[in-house]
Amino acid sequence: MKYVLVTGGVVSGLGKGVTASSIGLLLKACGLRVTSIKIDPYLNTDAGTMSPFEHGEVFVLDDGGEVDLDLGNYERFLDIKLTRDNNITTGKIYQSVLDSERKGDYLGKTVQVVPHITDAIQKWIERVALIPVDGKEGPADVCVIELGGTIGDIESMPFIEALGQFSYHVGPGNFCLIHVSLVPVLNVVGEQKTKPTQHSVRGLRGLGLTPNILACRSTKALEDNVKAKLSQFCHVAAENILTLYDVPNIWHIPLLLRDQKAHEAILKELNLIGEPDLQEWTARTRVYDILHEPVRIAMVGKYTGLSDSYLSVLKALLHASVACWRKLVVEWVAAGDLEDVTAKEAPDVYKNAWDLLKGSDGVLVPGGFGDRGVQGKILAAKYARENKVPFLGVCLGMQIAVIEFARSVLGLHDANSTEFDPETSHPCVIFMPEGSKTHMGGTMRLGSRRTYFKVPNCKSAKLYNNDSFVDERHRHRYEVNPNMVQQFENAGLSFVGRDETGQRMEIIELPSHPYFVGAQFHPEFKSRPGKPSALFLGLIAAASGQLDAVLQNYGHASKLLPNGIGNGKPTVKTYQNGNAIKSSNGSLNGVYSNGNGAHH
Ligand code: GLN
């Protein structure tokens, strides 16, 4: 096993996760099998208890692990399936050491950070690196390890110490350290400043780690004299200094690294050789760059201004949009703004929210917890249902669609989820734990579960390739009340997908509507750039007038791509001076939006 460690210096938010995923992709394109580990030095055992509005979304894995959103980037870029153990936190390490201590495993010794915590970290990495994550047998060739936080943080010290020992232990030729840093440009003189990077490399060395490669974030490519200076002061060969300058979207990063021959530098450190084949990736990135016809999707959520809270949903929308040759425009609509109270308190805000909703080609109500904005989400679902606007409800979004249907169509005015109104006389969404009913902790239905299609020719079955079942990821407590299903079906709401017992409703559809679909699971977690999630593809296809073509093609959009792109010879872009491609109209991360979802 070979290891690539990615650390970060100077400031946080440099895009270390995307860089590490891109490096993984580049190595994979060289024919290597790649796995990855994300280290989060915080004390929480996992991300499950952390607010998505503070920390970004909680990503869910097949095994039910609730992990940092960076694992989503790895899964998407490398098309792999990680396990909960691929996310290491301080909490997990200490918990394992303390458990061993209680069992008496340390035989009377004093238990200390060095060597006990640091040993536990190294053993964890070695064990997890061996788990196959690409569906093949046997361990991967390379494990990319990303150390969260910034060099110098108190919390990451035990990890740095452990990784220093680890690099020594695996030996040269098996370990490559890439340090991601910042080279700021001072506006007045336009000079690229190397001092912050010098300091952070010095810090790294002081802690026993020697960088092999520097990946410098800067607005433009580094000038030769700047590289020479960094090389001299940081003791890194000039050809091992890469610039991650601003690109229109993150799909460019692997190409940017390839064009700077990052693979050669990394493979040399690892005693490997290989040439990357990024044809398909390049072609898709080209398509993404030239999209101009918009598809407007209203995201009706608990708006808080941090778009990372819905990262996988945005990515899934993007994958589907690129497959349909549409430029994704996300209209952030704060659910609460659609409510009657807002009409009274802030009529302008209310009008604006409704204008955005009505100007959209499709409506998405994402997952969520708690009752804030529920009424607004119900109004959005009602609007989409009645006006035949394509709609996708994810998890809470599906429950919302069911509540709306119960109220408007079945006439059950107080129908609700017991999550929001435990006393409702028409509980159409109820708490259905898989385990204990009384024990609240760990009662979430988490991870991969199977959905069987009950109605073979429905839209969602077709989108899923007309397979008889599909495995998707879950994260919820409440479910549609099975006792009310017949009543709903009699009124035209079809429960087309269910679990193996037939008791848990997984997918709803309104056959009489162009595209009105809800899923109890989160399809966004398994969407990939080249394999958009079926239900998201359905939404975007419906919103851009292409649903029939996609359905005829059993959920594949590829035939929509004009010949020549996707299978023809891609135009390889070379990046020079950092200005080969310019971002045109304020896009960030390639997702265009009304600016309500304040991007960072
Ligand atoms: N709050 C709902 C539940 O627990 C939905 C959860 C979600 O959307 N992830 O069932």
Q: What is the pLDDT of residues 308-341, one digit of tens each?
A: 889 999 999 999 999 999 999 999 999 999 999 9
Q: What percent of the chain has pLDDT over 70?
A: 91
What's the 477 CA to ligand 1 centre distance in angstroms? 6
**Peptide bond between residue 41 and the one before it cis (omega within 30 degrees of 0):** no
Beta partners for 446?
Answer: 475
Residue 369: CB within 6 Å of ligand 1?
A: yes
Supply the mean pLDDT for the chain.
89
Q: Measured between alpha carbons, how far is 408 from 381 in angstroms, rounded to an integer? A: 11
Mean pLDDT computed over 193-216: 92
What's the 354 CA to ligand 1 centre distance in angstroms? 25
The DSSP code for 287 is H
How crowded is residue 306: how many other Cβ atoms within 10 Å of its Cβ?
19
The strand pair at 445-453 and 494-498 is best described as antiparallel
Residue whose CB lies within 8 A of the most ligand 1 atoms, among 419, 445, 520, for a mutation test: 419
Mean pLDDT computed over 253-281: 96
Work out the burial of residue 410: count CB atoms within 10 Å of its CB; fewer than 13 is exposed, 13-18 middle, 19 or more buried. Answer: middle
Residue 419: CB within 6 Å of ligand 1?
A: yes
Residue 52: CB within 6 Å of ligand 1?
A: no
pLDDT at 590 (0 to 100):
41
Does residue 135 register a pLDDT over 50?
Answer: yes
What's the 478 CA to ligand 1 centre distance in angstroms? 6
145, 126 contact by CB (below 8 A): no
Residue corresponding to tokens 């996992």: 46
Global pTM reads: 0.90
Beta partners for 170?
Answer: none
* 3-state secondary structure (DSSP) of residue 44: coil
∠244-250-252 over CA atoms, to 5°?
70
Residue 395: CB within 6 Å of ligand 1?
A: yes
Beta partners for 4?
Answer: 144, 176
pLDDT 10s digits, 414-468: 999 999 999 999 999 999 887 665 655 567 899 999 999 999 889 999 999 999 9
The values of phi and psi at residue 332, to 5°, are: -80, 120
pLDDT at 437 (0 to 100):
59
325, 550 contact by CB (below 8 A): no
* 3-state secondary structure (DSSP) of residue 457: coil
* C-alpha separations of 143 from 24, 129, 132 in Å: 8, 6, 11
What's the 84 CA to ligand 1 centre distance in angstroms? 20
Does residue 86 register a pLDDT over 80?
Answer: yes
Residue 367: CB within 6 Å of ligand 1?
A: yes
Tokens of residue 161, six digits: 């110490």
pLDDT at 418 (0 to 100):
95
pLDDT at 304 (0 to 100):
64
Ligand 1 atom with the smallest distance to the CA of 397 is: 8
What's the 405 CA to ligand 1 centre distance in angstroms? 18
* C-alpha separations of 296 from 325, 327, 358, 540, 596 in Å: 13, 8, 10, 9, 14
Does residue 588 register a pLDDT over 80?
Answer: no
Residue whose CB lies within 8 A of the most ligand 1 atoms, among 399, 444, 506, for a mutation test: 399
The values of phi and psi at residue 506, to 5°, are: -110, -35
Q: In this structure, which residue's CA is closest to atom 8 in ligand 1?
A: 367
Does residue 572 register a pLDDT over 80?
Answer: no
Considering only 50-54, 168-172, 524-528, 575-579, which range has the smallest mean pLDDT?
575-579
The DSSP code for 307 is G
Does residue 533 register a pLDDT over 50?
Answer: yes
Does residue 96 register a pLDDT over 60?
Answer: yes
Give the catalytic positions in this structure.
395, 522, 524
Of 328, 353, 332, nearest to 342 (Cα)?
A: 353
What's the 256 CA to ligand 1 centre distance in angstroms? 39
More confident residue, 108 or 363: 363
More confident residue, 507 or 570: 507
Mean pLDDT computed over 209-223: 92
The DSSP code for 186 is E
pLDDT at 442 (0 to 100):
65
Q: Measured between alpha carbons, how far is 235 from 204 in angstroms, rounded to an integer? A: 12
More confident residue, 491 or 189: 491
Residue 478: CB within 6 Å of ligand 1?
A: yes
Q: Measured between alpha carbons, how far is 102 from 105 in angstroms, rounded to an integer? A: 8
Ligand 1 atom with the smallest distance to the CA of 444 is: 4
How many CA atoms lie within 13 Å of 40's alpha carbon, on the beta-carbon side?
22
Categorize the per-residue pLDDT at 171 as very low, low, confident or very high, splitting at 50, 70 and 90.
very high
Ligand 1 atom with the smallest distance to the CA of 368 is: 8
pLDDT at 583 (0 to 100):
31
Tokens of residue 169, six digits: 């232990």
